[in-house]
Structure 1
Amino acid sequence: MTRRALITGIRGQDGSYLAEHLLAEGYDVWGLVRGEEAAPRIPVAPHLEGAVRLISGDLLDQRSLIAAIEQCEPDEVYNLAAISYVPQSWRQPEATAEVTGVGVVRILEAIRTVSGVRESQPGRGGQIRFYQASSSAMYGNARETPQNELTPLHPHSPYGVAKAYGHYMTKSYRESYGMHAMSGIMFNHESPRRGRQFVTRKVSVGVARIKLGQATELRIGNLDAQVDWGFAGDFARAMHLMVSQHTADDYVIGTGRLNSVRQLVELAFSYVGLQWRRHVRVDPQLVRPADVVVLRADYGKAAMRLGWHPSTPFEDVVAQMLESDMRLLSIA
């Protein structure tokens, strides 16, 4: 029997890569979108249009979530929707709490409600499996490096705090109700589908514009900031591996390798044959006063139990982003 998955955040980077992976695995994939039954558009991945069925629902409205789950009858639910840009979470802390934090509970309650109906009606299918996209931002000013599943959480942004709430609630529902619910503690992951507000995409778009003669400089913040950057497609594969396990558990997913923003800039400019020092301007206004201390993943548990390892080097991710943005800007 064909397995069915429902993905929130289907129109984002992670949702689109997960949809691709699940479709390749033979799944029937549904995507939750806000508002009325919107036009079947997935801007970051137009090739998925028609392959993924979109259904209306809202993380702020539990009734809509129950209705969506009842309609598509998923075997697996992946919650990837969130207000995920940290500076935006500072501007909208209450909205971040409602969507990124309490929204998780609404989905868990919706699954629990529908699962109760299934259990009372034989033949409706087994237990619904739930995946929550947790974040390394929950570690915040981490007290140890690298970070693993046992590292204490110390978030210092509204986004990190909201993610920590959703993370703990997922664990609570697993332990209290026996739900097959798990969290993936995802470190930074990038791709050509990353939003332009994030530093990797800001660099790739900026460098592409300079190469094409559409700009002369790239303004950047802290060049010395170090990040554990992976590839979104690799992380989507990890999500599916987690959900496929017989026993639900939480896993750290990252590369264990640090790259600085300076290295990112050097790689990007080198790829297009330009000298970065001639074009980069450090802008003090772009330096965050409370930048996170070094976060580096210890993904040993995922390697041992899931057999998961990152397979795409950061250099290749940067190259993919440059190629994509050069192409997009050339036809714009």
Structure 2
Amino acid sequence: MSQKRALITGITGQDGSYLAELLISKGYKVFGIKRRTSAPIMENIIHIANEIEFIDGDLQDLGSLIQAVKISNPDEVYNLAAQSFVGTSWAQPVLTAQSTAIGVTNMLEAVRLVKPDARFYQASSSEMFGKVVETPQVETTPFYPRSPYGVAKVYGHWITVNYRESYDMFACSGILFNHESPRRGIEFVTRKVTDAVARIKLGLQNELRMGNLDSKRDWGFAGDYVQAMWLMLQQDAPDDFVISTGETHTVEELVEIAFSHAGLNWRDYIVIDPKFVRPAEVDLLLGDCTKAKEKLGWKLDVGFEELVKMMVDSDLERVRKEIR
């Protein structure tokens, strides 16, 4: 049996790095699309970089994607690249639409033209549910996005369904709820909190400015969620799945666990700053992943409290190295 080949966009990000590790462990030949920049950010995958074949490309450049599919000749394509920070999507709505929405069409079109039998995974998002019309959210819950990012993700989701139905492509979307890890970008609230805890603990910072502490999210571990991505592409037929923990936690709970793990009282350091309250807030996201558990056999290994503590420990170790 020949070695399976996979092409990953967004391979240098949190999800891309965990997925690359998983696929390499399963014996895949892994190709990763990265944008040509003078100083690419490789910290998430530096430990496996010599096992990945990198291809220069950009989701906004169809020609580069066609070339990437020709070079990689993939059995599986995982489209994880996007402008993925919700807050930035208000400041850069056009860029968000071009990469997070139109970029999906470009990637699908490249696969359709060059390798139409490749299996395709699209990274959809719980932010598509936005102002939720039912709780918990399942695969059939109507979308009501509350940010340019959420709107762009809805487009990406439906164009994936459209290509599946129009061209008989094996194209799936994973509607992933918030998933975090020590590799999460510092601009996301979980890493913002755990990084601040480390800096406060080590005397480099004396406060943490936050927005709405009452917001609730369904937070899981990214390492668990990439398992679901892979499982979706191993099925007999393409389908879409909600991937979540089925539990909800407030930002305040996140803050309390993180500070407490470092032996600190969060109330001594948190400052509420209106600047961090979003123009249109998503108040409650809670996913029901029954379908994924039953059809994919997917399961969670890392719980919320364990995840937060893992992230605090990682940031403490990193910041200690910085100040040596």
The interval holding the TM-score normalised by the smaller chain is over 0.9
- The residue aligned with 2:36 is 35
SS in 1 for 2:32: strand
Deviations 1:189-230 (A, max 9, x none): 000000111110000000000111111111111111111000
CA distance in 1, matches of 2:145, 2:40: 36
1:262-281 equivalences under 5 Å are 262-281=252-271
- The residue aligned with 1:163 is 153
- Which amino acid in the other structure matches residue 283 of structure 2? V
- The residue aligned with 1:225 is 215
Answer whether contact 2:124 2:156 (CA < 8 A) is retained: yes
SS in 1 for 2:194: helix
CA distance in 2, matches of 1:39, 1:245: 38
1:154-303 equivalences under 5 Å are 154-303=144-293
Deviations 1:275-298 (A, max 9, x none): 111111222222224210311001
* Residue 80 (structure 1) aligned with residue 80 (structure 2): yes
- The residue aligned with 1:119 is none
- The residue aligned with 2:20 is 19
Listed as ranges, the gaps of 5+ residues in structure 1 are 117-126
Shift of 1:115: 2.5
- The residue aligned with 2:125 is 135
Shift of 1:41: 6.2
Shift of 1:35: 2.3
- The residue aligned with 2:143 is 153
SS in 2 for 1:46: coil
Answer whether contact 2:147 2:280 (CA < 8 A) is retained: no
- Which amino acid in the other structure matches residue 230 of structure 1? G
Count of aligned pairs between the two proteins:
321
CA distance in 1, matches of 2:149, 2:279: 16
Shift of 1:45: 3.1
- Which amino acid in the other structure matches residue 298 of structure 2? W
Deviations 1:236-271 (A, max 9, x none): 000000011110000000101011111111101111
CA distance in 2, matches of 1:172, 1:287: 35
- Which amino acid in the other structure matches residue 194 of structure 1? R
Shift of 1:309: 1.9
Shift of 1:82: 0.3
Answer whether contact 1:41 1:49 (CA < 8 A) is retained: no
CA distance in 2, matches of 1:217, 1:70: 51
CA distance in 1, matches of 2:41, 2:205: 31
CA distance 1:328–1:309, change in 2 (3 Å): same
Shift of 1:274: 1.1
- Which amino acid in the other structure matches residue 73 of structure 2? E
SS in 2 for 1:11: coil
Deviations 1:68-90 (A, max 9, x none): 11011111000000001112111
Answer whether contact 2:258 2:309 (CA < 8 A) is retained: yes
Answer whether contact 2:122 2:172 (CA < 8 A) is retained: yes
CA distance 1:29–1:40, change in 2 (3 Å): farther
CA distance in 1, matches of 2:317, 2:44: 14
TM-score (norm 2): 0.96
Listed as ranges, the gaps of 5+ residues in structure 2 are none
Deviations 1:132-151 (A, max 9, x none): 00001111101100000000
SS in 1 for 2:140: coil
CA distance in 2, matches of 1:289, 1:88: 12
Write out the 4+ residue segments of structure 1 that deviate beyond 6 Å after TM superposition: 38-41
TM-score (norm 1): 0.94
- The residue aligned with 1:120 is none
Deviations 1:107-137 (A, max 9, x none): 1111111136xxxxxxxxxx20000000011
